[in-house]
Amino acid sequence: MTEECQKLLPLIHDWVEGTADEETAFIAQQHLRQCFSCQQVVREWESIAEEIRAAFLVTASHGEKGIWRLPKPEPLLSWRVLGISGLLTTSLMGATLLWQGTSLTDLLRLLVQWILGTAQWMIFPVQWVQRFWDIFSHWA
């Protein structure tokens, strides 16, 4: 391979990649017509591209299926959120009643009453609001 070949190789590469302008393509083609070693290099470049294509795909060590699993969507109201909000509501109610002068025994009684009535309140939301209001207004 001559010094001229070395200089022309980037231009030939452009031509092989299909990105050469008309002038570059003309120079590359002219040179390739008369230069056997550059023809050989172009053939070897093609085979390198083929080799890369062949070597590209790799199988995952744990099997491809093990690579990815779609994450489960988060529920809008998780049990944690419900638990924390329930605890906060209860604490707030307790603090309010204590502040209003309710004794601790009465408070515990109310709490038990509230827990026992929860199922019913959950089924009938209107009753739930009404009952809460009744208790609150009574103790207030």
Partner 1 sequence: MDERELVQRCLQGDYQAFDELVARYRERTYSLAVHLLADREWAEDMVQEVFLRAFQRLALFDPNKGTFASWLMTMTTRLCLNALKKRNAETHRQMAWEEEATEFEWWEEVPTPEEIWWATQQRLFVRRLLMTLPPPQRAALLLRYGEGMSLQEVAQALQVPVGTVKAWLFRGRETLHRKLKEAGLL
Name which of 16 and 107 has its Cβ closer to partner 1: 16
CB 28 within 8 Å of CB 20: yes
Residue 68 phi, psi dihedral angles, 5° rounding? -140, 135
- Based on the number of CB atoms within 10 Å of its own CB, is 12 exposed (0-12), middle (13-18) or buried (19 or more)? buried
Residue 13 vs 131, nearer CB to partner 1: 13
Based on CB atoms, which residue is closest to partner 1, 62 or 138?
A: 62
115 contacts 122 by C-beta, under 8 angstroms: no
Residue pair 11/24 in contact (Cβ under 8 Å)? The answer is: yes
| Smallest gap from residue 44 Cβ to partner 1 (A) | 5
Min separation Cβ 65 and partner 1, Å: 8
Q: Quick one: 58 or 119, whose CB is closer to partner 1?
A: 58
Q: How far is the CB of 69 from partner 1 (least distance, A)?
A: 8
CA 37 to chain centre: 52
List of residues contacting partner 1 (CB under 8 A) = 9-10, 13-14, 17, 19, 41, 44-45, 47-49, 51-62, 64, 67-68, 70-71
